[in-house]
Amino acid sequence: MMISRRALLAGMAASTATFGWSAENLITAETPFSMDWLFEKARALAREDYAPVPQIPEPWRTLSYDEFNHIWFDPRKAIWVDDERPVRLDLFTAGLYVDRPAQINIVEDGIAKTLGYDPSLFEKTDQFPDLPVDETMGYAGFRLRRELNTAQIFEEYMVFHGASYFRAIANGQSYGLSARGLALRTGDPSGEEFPDFTHFWIEAPAPDQLTTVVHALLDGPSTTGVYTFRILAGRPTRVTVTATLFPRVELDHVGLGSLTSMFFFDETNRHRFDDFRPAVHDSEGLMVVNGNGERLWRPLANPNKVEISAFYDRNPQGFGLMQRTRDPERYADLEAHYQNRPSLWITPQEDWGRGAVELVEIPTDKEIYDNIVAYWRPADPIPAGSEHSFSYTMMWGDTPQGLPDVPHVLNTRIGKGFDQVKTVIAIDFAEHATFDDDLSAFKTVITSNAGTVSPGVLQHNPGTGGVRLAFSLLPEEATSVELRAQLFKDGEAASEVWLYRWTV
Protein backbone atom coordinates (compact mmCIF):
# COMPACT_ATOMS: atom_id res chain seq x y z
CA MET A 1 0.00 0.00 0.00
CA MET A 2 1.50 3.33 -1.10
CA ILE A 3 0.99 6.46 1.01
CA SER A 4 1.16 9.71 -0.96
CA ARG A 5 2.99 12.74 0.42
CA ARG A 6 -0.19 14.76 -0.02
CA ALA A 7 -2.12 12.33 2.18
CA LEU A 8 0.61 12.39 4.82
CA LEU A 9 0.68 16.18 4.93
CA ALA A 10 -3.06 16.30 5.23
CA GLY A 11 -2.84 13.86 8.14
CA MET A 12 -0.21 15.99 9.83
CA ALA A 13 -2.54 18.95 9.84
CA ALA A 14 -5.61 17.02 11.03
CA SER A 15 -7.10 17.43 14.49
CA THR A 16 -6.69 14.74 17.12
CA ALA A 17 -10.05 15.46 18.63
CA THR A 18 -11.80 12.54 16.94
CA PHE A 19 -9.20 10.11 18.28
CA GLY A 20 -9.44 10.96 21.96
CA TRP A 21 -5.69 10.37 22.14
CA SER A 22 -3.10 12.12 24.31
CA ALA A 23 0.65 11.68 24.65
CA GLU A 24 0.13 11.58 28.41
CA ASN A 25 -1.27 8.07 27.91
CA LEU A 26 2.21 6.87 26.87
CA ILE A 27 4.06 7.89 30.04
CA THR A 28 5.27 4.94 32.08
CA ALA A 29 7.66 6.73 34.47
CA GLU A 30 8.69 10.19 35.61
CA THR A 31 12.18 10.86 37.00
CA PRO A 32 14.29 13.94 37.73
CA PHE A 33 16.66 14.82 34.88
CA SER A 34 19.83 16.92 34.76
CA MET A 35 23.08 16.81 32.83
CA ASP A 36 24.98 16.02 36.04
CA TRP A 37 22.72 13.00 36.54
CA LEU A 38 23.25 11.89 32.91
CA PHE A 39 27.04 12.16 33.18
CA GLU A 40 27.03 10.11 36.38
CA LYS A 41 24.85 7.50 34.69
CA ALA A 42 27.34 7.21 31.80
CA ARG A 43 30.32 7.01 34.16
CA ALA A 44 28.69 4.27 36.23
CA LEU A 45 27.74 2.35 33.10
CA ALA A 46 31.32 2.54 31.81
CA ARG A 47 32.58 0.89 35.01
CA GLU A 48 30.36 -2.12 34.35
CA ASP A 49 30.69 -4.85 31.74
CA TYR A 50 28.75 -4.08 28.60
CA ALA A 51 25.20 -5.46 28.67
CA PRO A 52 23.24 -4.88 25.45
CA VAL A 53 19.61 -3.85 25.46
CA PRO A 54 17.43 -7.00 25.10
CA GLN A 55 16.27 -7.81 21.60
CA ILE A 56 12.66 -7.34 20.59
CA PRO A 57 10.52 -10.44 19.86
CA GLU A 58 11.88 -12.63 17.08
CA PRO A 59 8.90 -12.22 14.68
CA TRP A 60 9.56 -8.46 14.57
CA ARG A 61 13.24 -9.04 13.81
CA THR A 62 12.55 -11.38 10.89
CA LEU A 63 10.03 -9.24 9.03
CA SER A 64 10.77 -8.85 5.35
CA TYR A 65 11.37 -5.40 3.92
CA ASP A 66 8.03 -5.48 2.12
CA GLU A 67 6.19 -6.58 5.27
CA PHE A 68 7.76 -3.81 7.32
CA ASN A 69 6.51 -1.23 4.81
CA HIS A 70 2.95 -2.11 5.87
CA ILE A 71 3.31 -0.35 9.24
CA TRP A 72 3.94 3.36 9.78
CA PHE A 73 3.52 6.04 12.42
CA ASP A 74 0.22 7.92 12.46
CA PRO A 75 1.29 11.61 12.39
CA ARG A 76 -2.05 12.64 13.94
CA LYS A 77 -0.69 11.11 17.16
CA ALA A 78 2.63 12.93 17.16
CA ILE A 79 4.04 14.18 20.44
CA TRP A 80 2.98 17.84 20.95
CA VAL A 81 0.44 17.66 18.13
CA ASP A 82 -2.13 19.31 20.38
CA ASP A 83 0.28 21.71 22.12
CA GLU A 84 1.36 25.23 21.21
CA ARG A 85 4.88 24.12 20.42
CA PRO A 86 6.92 24.63 17.23
CA VAL A 87 7.91 20.96 16.84
CA ARG A 88 6.13 17.66 16.26
CA LEU A 89 7.80 14.41 17.31
CA ASP A 90 7.03 11.15 15.48
CA LEU A 91 8.14 7.70 16.67
CA PHE A 92 9.48 4.71 14.72
CA THR A 93 8.68 1.17 15.78
CA ALA A 94 11.57 -1.20 16.29
CA GLY A 95 11.74 -4.14 13.90
CA LEU A 96 13.54 -5.42 10.80
CA TYR A 97 16.98 -3.72 10.86
CA VAL A 98 16.60 -2.27 14.38
CA ASP A 99 16.29 -5.18 16.81
CA ARG A 100 17.17 -3.37 20.06
CA PRO A 101 14.93 -0.42 20.97
CA ALA A 102 15.92 2.95 22.39
CA GLN A 103 14.16 4.49 25.37
CA ILE A 104 12.49 7.80 24.46
CA ASN A 105 11.99 10.44 27.16
CA ILE A 106 10.42 13.89 27.05
CA VAL A 107 11.98 16.45 29.41
CA GLU A 108 10.04 19.36 30.86
CA ASP A 109 10.73 21.40 34.01
CA GLY A 110 13.56 19.06 35.01
CA ILE A 111 11.41 15.91 34.80
CA ALA A 112 11.98 13.13 32.27
CA LYS A 113 8.81 11.35 31.16
CA THR A 114 9.46 7.91 29.68
CA LEU A 115 7.27 6.97 26.72
CA GLY A 116 6.03 3.38 26.78
CA TYR A 117 5.50 1.41 23.58
CA ASP A 118 1.98 1.69 22.18
CA PRO A 119 1.02 -0.26 19.01
CA SER A 120 -1.98 2.04 18.50
CA LEU A 121 0.39 4.83 17.43
CA PHE A 122 0.97 3.00 14.16
CA GLU A 123 -1.22 2.49 11.13
CA LYS A 124 -1.10 -0.88 9.37
CA THR A 125 -2.49 -2.48 6.25
CA ASP A 126 -4.29 -5.83 6.38
CA GLN A 127 -1.10 -7.39 4.99
CA PHE A 128 0.87 -6.65 8.14
CA PRO A 129 1.07 -9.80 10.32
CA ASP A 130 -0.26 -10.03 13.87
CA LEU A 131 2.90 -9.88 16.01
CA PRO A 132 3.53 -10.29 19.74
CA VAL A 133 4.28 -7.25 21.92
CA ASP A 134 6.04 -7.77 25.24
CA GLU A 135 8.17 -5.73 27.63
CA THR A 136 11.16 -5.88 25.23
CA MET A 137 9.29 -4.06 22.45
CA GLY A 138 10.07 -0.39 21.90
CA TYR A 139 10.95 2.39 19.50
CA ALA A 140 13.72 2.47 16.92
CA GLY A 141 14.00 6.26 17.07
CA PHE A 142 12.13 9.41 16.15
CA ARG A 143 11.85 12.25 13.68
CA LEU A 144 11.36 15.99 14.11
CA ARG A 145 8.94 18.14 12.09
CA ARG A 146 8.36 21.91 11.91
CA GLU A 147 6.38 24.46 9.92
CA LEU A 148 9.03 25.26 7.34
CA ASN A 149 7.10 26.59 4.35
CA THR A 150 3.36 26.52 5.03
CA ALA A 151 1.39 27.23 8.18
CA GLN A 152 0.01 24.08 9.84
CA ILE A 153 2.09 21.83 7.57
CA PHE A 154 4.83 20.26 9.69
CA GLU A 155 7.66 18.96 7.48
CA GLU A 156 10.38 16.65 8.72
CA TYR A 157 13.97 17.83 8.89
CA MET A 158 15.84 15.38 11.15
CA VAL A 159 15.70 11.69 12.05
CA PHE A 160 17.44 9.56 14.70
CA HIS A 161 17.06 5.91 13.74
CA GLY A 162 19.12 2.85 14.68
CA ALA A 163 22.58 2.40 16.27
CA SER A 164 24.01 5.94 16.57
CA TYR A 165 22.80 7.01 13.12
CA PHE A 166 21.01 10.27 12.43
CA ARG A 167 20.41 12.43 9.39
CA ALA A 168 19.04 15.83 8.50
CA ILE A 169 18.16 17.93 5.50
CA ALA A 170 18.03 21.60 4.68
CA ASN A 171 14.67 23.09 3.78
CA GLY A 172 13.66 21.90 0.30
CA GLN A 173 16.11 19.00 0.15
CA SER A 174 15.71 15.21 0.19
CA TYR A 175 17.41 12.79 2.57
CA GLY A 176 20.77 11.45 1.44
CA LEU A 177 23.88 10.92 3.54
CA SER A 178 23.80 10.08 7.26
CA ALA A 179 25.94 10.80 10.29
CA ARG A 180 26.92 8.71 13.30
CA GLY A 181 27.61 9.60 16.87
CA LEU A 182 30.78 7.52 16.77
CA ALA A 183 32.70 5.26 14.37
CA LEU A 184 34.81 2.49 15.86
CA ARG A 185 37.35 0.39 13.91
CA THR A 186 35.87 1.24 10.51
CA GLY A 187 37.65 -0.83 7.87
CA ASP A 188 39.63 -2.88 10.40
CA PRO A 189 40.14 -6.56 9.53
CA SER A 190 38.83 -7.46 13.01
CA GLY A 191 35.50 -5.87 12.18
CA GLU A 192 33.68 -2.65 12.98
CA GLU A 193 31.79 -1.90 16.19
CA PHE A 194 28.45 -0.09 16.11
CA PRO A 195 27.54 1.42 19.50
CA ASP A 196 23.91 2.42 20.07
CA PHE A 197 22.10 5.46 21.29
CA THR A 198 20.17 3.51 23.93
CA HIS A 199 18.32 6.44 25.54
CA PHE A 200 17.11 9.82 24.28
CA TRP A 201 15.88 12.82 26.26
CA ILE A 202 14.13 15.44 24.09
CA GLU A 203 13.55 18.79 25.75
CA ALA A 204 10.03 20.11 25.29
CA PRO A 205 10.49 23.40 23.39
CA ALA A 206 8.82 26.62 24.45
CA PRO A 207 6.25 28.04 22.00
CA ASP A 208 8.75 30.57 20.61
CA GLN A 209 11.81 28.28 20.74
CA LEU A 210 13.31 27.49 17.32
CA THR A 211 16.18 25.28 18.54
CA THR A 212 15.34 21.72 19.59
CA VAL A 213 17.64 20.10 22.19
CA VAL A 214 18.17 16.34 22.24
CA HIS A 215 20.36 14.44 24.71
CA ALA A 216 21.48 10.87 24.07
CA LEU A 217 23.25 8.10 25.97
CA LEU A 218 25.67 6.05 23.86
CA ASP A 219 26.60 2.50 24.84
CA GLY A 220 28.62 -0.28 23.24
CA PRO A 221 31.23 -2.88 24.14
CA SER A 222 34.07 -0.33 24.01
CA THR A 223 32.61 2.89 25.41
CA THR A 224 29.69 4.82 26.78
CA GLY A 225 29.07 8.47 25.97
CA VAL A 226 26.86 11.50 26.53
CA TYR A 227 25.74 13.56 23.52
CA THR A 228 23.77 16.78 23.21
CA PHE A 229 22.36 17.96 19.89
CA ARG A 230 21.12 21.52 19.40
CA ILE A 231 19.13 21.50 16.18
CA LEU A 232 17.97 24.50 14.14
CA ALA A 233 16.09 23.71 10.93
CA GLY A 234 16.53 25.90 7.85
CA ARG A 235 18.82 26.17 4.87
CA PRO A 236 21.21 25.05 6.08
CA THR A 237 19.98 22.98 8.99
CA ARG A 238 22.51 23.58 11.75
CA VAL A 239 23.27 20.97 14.41
CA THR A 240 25.71 21.66 17.24
CA VAL A 241 27.06 18.48 18.85
CA THR A 242 28.79 18.27 22.23
CA ALA A 243 29.94 14.87 23.43
CA THR A 244 31.94 13.13 26.14
CA LEU A 245 33.19 9.55 25.82
CA PHE A 246 33.86 7.22 28.78
CA PRO A 247 35.88 4.34 27.27
CA ARG A 248 35.82 0.85 28.80
CA VAL A 249 38.84 -0.07 26.70
CA GLU A 250 41.52 1.91 24.91
CA LEU A 251 40.06 3.42 21.75
CA ASP A 252 42.89 3.16 19.24
CA HIS A 253 40.76 3.54 16.10
CA VAL A 254 37.95 5.97 16.74
CA GLY A 255 36.15 8.25 14.28
CA LEU A 256 34.74 11.61 15.40
CA GLY A 257 32.23 13.52 13.27
CA SER A 258 31.55 10.36 11.31
CA LEU A 259 29.70 10.60 7.98
CA THR A 260 28.22 7.80 5.86
CA SER A 261 27.14 8.12 2.24
CA MET A 262 26.69 6.43 -1.15
CA PHE A 263 28.77 6.81 -4.28
CA PHE A 264 27.97 4.54 -7.21
CA PHE A 265 29.34 6.20 -10.35
CA ASP A 266 29.91 9.46 -12.19
CA GLU A 267 32.22 10.62 -14.98
CA THR A 268 35.29 9.28 -13.18
CA ASN A 269 34.16 5.64 -13.53
CA ARG A 270 31.17 5.80 -15.91
CA HIS A 271 32.65 3.16 -18.25
CA ARG A 272 32.13 0.41 -15.64
CA PHE A 273 28.32 0.73 -15.47
CA ASP A 274 25.60 0.06 -18.02
CA ASP A 275 23.07 2.65 -16.87
CA PHE A 276 21.01 5.30 -18.66
CA ARG A 277 21.94 7.93 -16.06
CA PRO A 278 25.22 9.87 -16.19
CA ALA A 279 25.78 9.86 -12.40
CA VAL A 280 24.38 8.20 -9.27
CA HIS A 281 25.55 9.33 -5.84
CA ASP A 282 24.43 10.92 -2.57
CA SER A 283 27.84 12.60 -2.27
CA GLU A 284 30.46 13.22 -4.94
CA GLY A 285 33.52 14.33 -3.02
CA LEU A 286 35.34 14.78 0.27
CA MET A 287 36.29 18.38 1.02
CA VAL A 288 38.80 19.34 3.70
CA VAL A 289 40.09 22.69 4.91
CA ASN A 290 43.18 21.69 6.85
CA GLY A 291 44.88 23.41 9.74
CA ASN A 292 46.96 25.52 7.34
CA GLY A 293 43.86 26.82 5.57
CA GLU A 294 44.51 24.72 2.48
CA ARG A 295 41.33 23.61 0.68
CA LEU A 296 41.39 19.99 -0.55
CA TRP A 297 38.98 18.23 -2.90
CA ARG A 298 38.97 14.44 -3.27
CA PRO A 299 36.40 13.01 -5.74
CA LEU A 300 34.87 9.84 -4.33
CA ALA A 301 35.38 6.42 -5.89
CA ASN A 302 33.63 3.07 -6.04
CA PRO A 303 36.72 0.84 -6.06
CA ASN A 304 37.07 -2.86 -6.78
CA LYS A 305 38.37 -3.46 -3.24
CA VAL A 306 38.19 -1.55 0.03
CA GLU A 307 40.35 1.56 -0.11
CA ILE A 308 41.33 3.62 2.95
CA SER A 309 42.87 7.07 2.57
CA ALA A 310 44.20 9.29 5.35
CA PHE A 311 44.71 13.07 5.08
CA TYR A 312 47.03 13.86 7.98
CA ASP A 313 46.62 17.18 9.73
CA ARG A 314 46.72 19.13 12.96
CA ASN A 315 43.63 21.05 14.11
CA PRO A 316 41.55 20.80 10.92
CA GLN A 317 39.29 23.76 10.17
CA GLY A 318 36.59 21.55 8.68
CA PHE A 319 35.72 18.58 6.49
CA GLY A 320 32.68 17.05 4.91
CA LEU A 321 31.06 15.01 2.16
CA MET A 322 29.72 17.29 -0.56
CA GLN A 323 27.03 17.04 -3.21
CA ARG A 324 28.14 19.96 -5.37
CA THR A 325 26.33 19.13 -8.61
CA ARG A 326 22.79 20.55 -8.50
CA ASP A 327 21.86 20.31 -12.19
CA PRO A 328 19.11 17.65 -12.55
CA GLU A 329 20.35 16.76 -16.03
CA ARG A 330 23.67 15.66 -14.56
CA TYR A 331 21.73 12.81 -12.90
CA ALA A 332 18.73 12.40 -15.25
CA ASP A 333 16.82 10.58 -12.51
CA LEU A 334 13.26 11.84 -12.13
CA GLU A 335 12.57 9.63 -9.09
CA ALA A 336 15.70 9.69 -6.89
CA HIS A 337 16.39 13.46 -7.33
CA TYR A 338 20.05 13.14 -6.44
CA GLN A 339 20.50 16.86 -7.13
CA ASN A 340 18.50 17.54 -3.93
CA ARG A 341 20.70 15.52 -1.57
CA PRO A 342 22.42 17.54 1.17
CA SER A 343 26.09 18.20 1.67
CA LEU A 344 27.34 17.92 5.25
CA TRP A 345 30.14 20.09 6.64
CA ILE A 346 31.81 19.45 10.02
CA THR A 347 33.50 22.33 11.88
CA PRO A 348 35.40 21.45 15.09
CA GLN A 349 34.61 23.81 17.95
CA GLU A 350 38.01 23.41 19.57
CA ASP A 351 41.49 22.22 18.60
CA TRP A 352 41.33 18.51 17.75
CA GLY A 353 45.12 18.13 17.74
CA ARG A 354 47.01 15.67 15.56
CA GLY A 355 45.22 13.10 13.46
CA ALA A 356 43.77 12.51 10.03
CA VAL A 357 40.57 12.85 8.08
CA GLU A 358 40.09 9.23 7.10
CA LEU A 359 38.10 8.16 4.04
CA VAL A 360 36.88 4.59 3.59
CA GLU A 361 35.58 3.57 0.16
CA ILE A 362 33.85 0.20 -0.16
CA PRO A 363 32.91 -1.54 -3.44
CA THR A 364 29.20 -1.63 -4.26
CA ASP A 365 27.19 -2.93 -7.20
CA LYS A 366 23.93 -1.25 -6.18
CA GLU A 367 22.96 2.30 -5.26
CA ILE A 368 20.93 1.12 -2.27
CA TYR A 369 24.06 0.53 -0.16
CA ASP A 370 26.05 3.15 1.72
CA ASN A 371 29.69 2.53 0.80
CA ILE A 372 31.47 5.74 1.86
CA VAL A 373 32.61 6.65 5.38
CA ALA A 374 34.57 9.75 6.45
CA TYR A 375 35.61 10.90 9.92
CA TRP A 376 38.36 12.49 12.00
CA ARG A 377 40.71 9.92 13.53
CA PRO A 378 42.82 11.26 16.44
CA ALA A 379 46.48 10.29 16.28
CA ASP A 380 46.63 9.29 19.95
CA PRO A 381 44.43 6.55 21.42
CA ILE A 382 41.79 7.54 23.97
CA PRO A 383 42.73 5.67 27.19
CA ALA A 384 40.36 3.35 29.02
CA GLY A 385 38.84 4.97 32.09
CA SER A 386 39.36 8.49 30.75
CA GLU A 387 36.83 11.16 29.80
CA HIS A 388 37.24 12.60 26.33
CA SER A 389 35.13 15.62 25.38
CA PHE A 390 34.78 17.17 21.95
CA SER A 391 32.31 19.33 20.02
CA TYR A 392 31.53 20.33 16.48
CA THR A 393 28.89 21.96 14.31
CA MET A 394 27.19 20.28 11.38
CA MET A 395 25.82 22.24 8.42
CA TRP A 396 23.35 20.15 6.40
CA GLY A 397 22.60 21.80 3.07
CA ASP A 398 24.76 23.31 0.34
CA THR A 399 28.46 24.19 0.20
CA PRO A 400 29.20 26.10 3.42
CA GLN A 401 30.04 29.78 3.49
CA GLY A 402 33.32 31.28 4.67
CA LEU A 403 35.71 28.86 2.94
CA PRO A 404 39.03 30.00 1.44
CA ASP A 405 38.21 31.93 -1.74
CA VAL A 406 39.87 29.86 -4.45
CA PRO A 407 38.36 28.28 -7.58
CA HIS A 408 36.75 24.97 -6.71
CA VAL A 409 36.47 21.79 -8.75
CA LEU A 410 33.20 21.48 -10.66
CA ASN A 411 33.78 18.07 -12.17
CA THR A 412 36.35 15.36 -12.82
CA ARG A 413 36.30 13.21 -15.94
CA ILE A 414 38.47 10.11 -16.28
CA GLY A 415 38.73 7.74 -19.25
CA LYS A 416 40.88 6.54 -22.10
CA GLY A 417 42.22 9.04 -24.61
CA PHE A 418 42.15 8.76 -28.39
CA ASP A 419 45.03 6.26 -28.37
CA GLN A 420 43.12 3.97 -25.95
CA VAL A 421 46.36 3.52 -23.99
CA LYS A 422 46.80 6.52 -21.73
CA THR A 423 44.16 7.52 -19.19
CA VAL A 424 43.03 11.12 -19.61
CA ILE A 425 42.03 13.12 -16.53
CA ALA A 426 40.13 16.37 -17.06
CA ILE A 427 39.50 18.63 -14.06
CA ASP A 428 37.04 21.50 -14.51
CA PHE A 429 37.47 24.47 -12.17
CA ALA A 430 34.56 26.84 -11.60
CA GLU A 431 34.38 30.36 -13.00
CA HIS A 432 36.38 32.76 -10.82
CA ALA A 433 37.75 36.30 -11.02
CA THR A 434 41.30 34.96 -11.00
CA PHE A 435 40.81 33.46 -14.47
CA ASP A 436 41.31 36.36 -16.86
CA ASP A 437 41.83 36.06 -20.60
CA ASP A 438 45.52 35.24 -20.27
CA LEU A 439 46.22 31.90 -18.62
CA SER A 440 49.97 32.10 -19.20
CA ALA A 441 50.44 33.46 -15.66
CA PHE A 442 49.26 30.13 -14.22
CA LYS A 443 51.53 27.26 -13.37
CA THR A 444 50.10 23.75 -13.15
CA VAL A 445 51.64 21.36 -10.65
CA ILE A 446 50.74 17.68 -11.16
CA THR A 447 52.37 14.86 -9.21
CA SER A 448 51.97 11.10 -8.90
CA ASN A 449 53.58 8.47 -6.72
CA ALA A 450 53.77 5.92 -9.54
CA GLY A 451 53.46 5.70 -13.30
CA THR A 452 53.97 8.71 -15.54
CA VAL A 453 51.85 11.86 -15.85
CA SER A 454 52.01 14.31 -18.73
CA PRO A 455 52.39 18.08 -18.33
CA GLY A 456 49.04 19.71 -17.79
CA VAL A 457 47.15 21.62 -20.46
CA LEU A 458 45.13 24.55 -19.07
CA GLN A 459 42.35 26.00 -21.21
CA HIS A 460 39.30 28.19 -20.85
CA ASN A 461 36.14 26.08 -20.83
CA PRO A 462 33.29 27.90 -22.60
CA GLY A 463 30.83 25.33 -21.26
CA THR A 464 31.44 26.31 -17.61
CA GLY A 465 32.99 29.79 -17.78
CA GLY A 466 35.95 28.45 -15.80
CA VAL A 467 39.04 26.54 -16.89
CA ARG A 468 39.92 22.93 -17.54
CA LEU A 469 43.17 21.26 -16.54
CA ALA A 470 43.79 18.07 -18.54
CA PHE A 471 46.64 15.60 -18.34
CA SER A 472 47.25 11.93 -19.06
CA LEU A 473 48.35 9.07 -16.84
CA LEU A 474 50.32 6.05 -17.93
CA PRO A 475 50.22 3.77 -14.86
CA GLU A 476 52.81 1.31 -16.24
CA GLU A 477 52.92 -1.58 -13.73
CA ALA A 478 51.13 0.27 -10.94
CA THR A 479 47.69 -0.89 -9.82
CA SER A 480 47.16 2.18 -7.63
CA VAL A 481 48.39 5.74 -8.21
CA GLU A 482 48.04 8.74 -5.89
CA LEU A 483 47.51 11.89 -7.94
CA ARG A 484 47.64 15.55 -6.95
CA ALA A 485 47.01 18.66 -9.04
CA GLN A 486 46.80 22.37 -8.28
CA LEU A 487 47.00 25.71 -10.05
CA PHE A 488 49.40 28.48 -8.97
CA LYS A 489 49.53 32.15 -9.98
CA ASP A 490 52.36 34.51 -9.09
CA GLY A 491 53.69 31.86 -6.74
CA GLU A 492 50.44 31.64 -4.77
CA ALA A 493 47.90 28.82 -4.67
CA ALA A 494 45.13 29.66 -7.16
CA SER A 495 42.80 26.67 -6.83
CA GLU A 496 41.68 23.88 -4.58
CA VAL A 497 44.09 20.99 -4.24
CA TRP A 498 42.68 18.15 -6.34
CA LEU A 499 43.51 14.68 -5.03
CA TYR A 500 42.60 11.25 -6.40
CA ARG A 501 43.54 7.61 -5.98
CA TRP A 502 43.44 5.93 -9.39
CA THR A 503 43.04 2.16 -9.18
CA VAL A 504 42.61 -0.62 -11.72
Q: What is the pLDDT of residues 256-300, one digit of tens each?
A: 999 999 999 999 999 999 999 999 999 999 999 999 999 999 999
98 closest CA partner among 144, 132, 60, 50:
60
Q: What integer pLDDT is reported at residue 74 of this predicted model?
A: 97
- Write the CB contacts of 187 (distance below 8 Å, at least 6 apart in sequence): 306, 308, 360, 373
CA distance 221 to 315: 29
102 closest CA partner among 136, 150, 146, 67:
136
Count of other CB atoms within 10 angstroms of residue 500: 24
Classify residue 420 as left (phi > 0), alpha (psi -120 to 50) or beta.
left
How large is the average pLDDT for residues 419-445? 94
Q: What integer pLDDT is reported at residue 213 of this predicted model?
A: 98
pLDDT band at 18 (very low <50, low <70, confident <90, very high): very low
How large is the average pLDDT for residues 207-211? 95
For the chain, give me the number of helices (H) and strands (E)? 4, 35
- Write the CB contacts of 149 (distance below 8 Å, at least 6 apart in sequence): 155, 171
pLDDT band at 21 (very low <50, low <70, confident <90, very high): low
260 closest CA partner among 361, 352, 170, 336:
361
Asked whether the predicted pLDDT for residue 454 surpasses 80, the reply is yes
Per DSSP bridges, beta strands 423-429 and 343-348 are unpaired
CA distance 162 to 404: 36
Q: What percent of the chain has pLDDT over 90?
A: 93
Side-chain half-sphere exposure of 248, counting CA atoms within 13 A: 17
| pLDDT tens string 57-93 | 999 999 999 999 999 999 999 999 999 999 999 999 9
Question: What does pTM read for this prediction?
Answer: 0.93
Q: What integer pLDDT is reported at residue 9 of this predicted model?
A: 35
Cα torsion for 296, 300, 301, 302, to the nearest 10°? 160
pLDDT band at 169 (very low <50, low <70, confident <90, very high): very high
Q: What integer pLDDT is reported at residue 24 of this predicted model?
A: 84
pLDDT band at 436 (very low <50, low <70, confident <90, very high): confident
Per DSSP bridges, beta strands 196-203 and 103-108 are parallel
The amino acid that residue 398 corresponds to is D
| pLDDT tens string 327-359 | 999 999 999 999 999 999 999 999 999 999 999
Asked whether the predicted pLDDT for residue 469 surpasses 90, the reply is yes
| φ/ψ of residue 25, rounded to 5 | -70, -20
Q: Got the DSSP string for 429-440?
A: EPP-TT--S--T
237 closest CA partner among 216, 206, 211:
211
99 closest CA partner among 58, 143, 134:
58
CA distance 474 to 476: 6
Q: What integer pLDDT is reported at residue 390 of this predicted model?
A: 98
Q: What integer pLDDT is reported at residue 23 of this predicted model?
A: 77
Asked whether the predicted pLDDT for residue 1 surpasses 60, the reply is no
Q: What percent of the chain has pLDDT over 70?
A: 96
pLDDT band at 493 (very low <50, low <70, confident <90, very high): very high
Q: What integer pLDDT is reported at residue 25 of this predicted model?
A: 86
Average pLDDT, the chain: 94
- Write the CB contacts of 225 (distance below 8 Å, at least 6 apart in sequence): 42, 181, 182, 195, 217, 218, 219, 243, 244, 245, 246
Q: Over 162-180, what HEC string results?
A: CCCEEEECCCCCCCCCEEE
